Structure 1
Amino acid sequence: MPVVNRIADYAEEMKTWRRHLHQIPELALDLPKTAAFVAERLREFGVDELHEGIATSGMVAIINGQGNDAGTGPTIGLRADMDALPIPEETGVDYVSGHAGNMHACGHDGHTTMLLGAAKYLAETRNFSGRVALIFQPAEEAIGGARIMVEEGIMDRFGISEVYALHNAPGLPVGAFLTTPGALMAATDEFHIHINGRGGHAAMPHETRDPVMAACGIAQAIQTIVSRNHYALQDLVVSVTQIHTGTTDNVVPDTAYINGTVRSFDPDVQQMVMHRMKEIVAGQAASYGVEAELNYEEGYPATYNDPAKTAFAVDVASEIAGADNVESEGGREMGAEDFSYMLQARPGAYLFLGQGESAGLHHPKYDFNDEISPIGASFFVRLVERAQPAT
């Protein structure tokens, strides 16, 4: 079956929700306007329970299935992220961001809308058994709101046994789905290196301990971790993204700073990178006669799709989009996603939903394609109805 007819009936309403959310982009955990709008819609739909203030501005809405007034039975979790990015918008749309410097450049306004659409339908029809937990999460782009919600106990508190999420995908045909079992997205770490040397006149470098040369040496040596310490058939990225030092052409500065990211899938590879980076930073600092301090921060873990739950989600997606429009072995990518924390806590799956040709994610000209909101909502509701059929 294609898009659920009842959901298609309120596609225009979903577009209105999404474009309102687009105008009020908020960051990280601080989403008062967004959370208030979502909570107001959920109350209008008649959800059975609404638990607010989780991870500051997150919430979980519970809808009981048919004949389940006691709220018993298995519970399936569906998650949408709500936060925006600190990017000035350049879309030129008439519903442009009203919060200068912030925009929904990753489509979380659309993700929230798809889950709201599913909530409206599920609360109205209740054509399922058990319960559904609708998870509206802050701070996917920073801090890791999913981690905080898990740490605050949502999985046990609401009896969630499995959990699913969607993310829009520019460049993938409209309405097509893509995922893969096992590792789908990478773990992401950050490194910060602070170098302390001895500055002086650039015409007399022999009197200095040059942190600029040390920074160049460290940045180059770090690249050998991938090329010489790592098995070539395993995925790993080590990227230096910032080097800051100096103020003018005739002064050797006292300090330098290096920052970058590490992307990996295997915890053993992650540990190897950390170990080698410590050795390289210490060794290069000694060779240049400077002091260097490495601060290595472990970030989001790899996003791991449970194979059985992924196969089920692929089957549901094929029902919505047609088997020819679902890629079930789409491979993995080096981007990261904090839904990984929820997938560590419970089995489930994460899928991409094509939104056609558009500006890329995190680009100032990006805008979510409203055409795919009913498709995503239909996927969510059929997932629930098939996982927990009404008796």
Structure 2
Amino acid sequence: MKVLHCLNSPHVGGIERLVIEFAIAQKKQGIDVSIMLDTCKGQYYNYLLEQEIPILDSGIKGGWDFNYKTYKQLKKQFKAFQIVHLHSFSVLRSMSAKHSKVKTIYTIHGLSKNVRKEERLKYHAREFLKKWFLNSVDVLIANSHYTLDLARKHYSLKTVKTKTILNGIKLADYTPNSVPKNHEFTIGLVSRFTPRKRIDRLINAFNKYRNIGGVGELILVGNGTEFNTIKKMVKGLGLENLIKMVGYKTNVEDYYNAFDIIAHPSDNEGFGLIAVESFLYGKPIIVFNDSGGMKEVIQPIEPYNIVENEDEYAKRLLFYENHRAEIFKASKNRIAYAKKHFSIERMERDYYKAYKSILLR
């Protein structure tokens, strides 16, 4: 089976890392897999080269590139594969895939509405074209039931075959450690600093937590467009000595191991890989009820860590500060749950079945 994954770039991001690890898992299963990139610029590029997975250049210069020569070249390249698997939308790539008549899978990792600022005309034009294309693929796959429900409504998906395949993650052996008695209670966040991540809600909840008697510190790992805004907010609340903003780090495993619990305040996440990572380290994660697909990871094992508002969030933080022994007791269950349901190998097999089903049509 020859499969081509199409990505914008090998830049740091949940989708990029997911697709690369997915392709590696496919290669291990004997699938002839390649990756097509619009640009080679990105932190994962060297890692991708090390995997000896063929990398193709799409020639696409942006989301609104309409170069006819590129279109013809893409059609020719796509015809060399049995499956073209798209992970993001561009007009040129989509048109080329459709007219190549190769079996096409589109994985929708989340909806872009209200995620980034853009001109209204461009947004509506792109969504109109995307609606047309998504309704013509061989199968559309969503990374959560939440994402699929949104996509069905937004793109009026009525006749196209759809399916939900939850994301997987590359697993490693994690051994949960009990926290020393003299260890300061530590709440952690690992995230990009973007509007959707709603880090302001976590800052407010932590402030309320302190006001009801909570102790300890909050460590924020990550960077992004909202970093300075959050920094000003922390200063305005007088929490500089209690909230540490350490920026982007590559050794996130050291931070995960140091955290007692994980906090993630985002809304409308397509999936929320951070929840799986938290469980793999044996740590509970607290989220809001509007967290989207992230709830689907947490609900089966710790539904009480899904809260409605900042006041409830603060109380949940306080619960864990007062019951720190409970964190370690449940850690092995969290790890076992994550390994059983969210391995990259399970995800690869689920997609393989989807590939087979459309090739047999």
Q: Is TM more than 0.5 here? A: no
Q: Which has the larger radius of gyration?
A: 1
**What TM-score, normalized by structure 2, do the two folds share?**
0.30
State the structure with bigger RCO (CA 8 A, min sep 6), 1 or 2.
1
**What TM-score, normalized by structure 1, do the two folds share?**
0.28
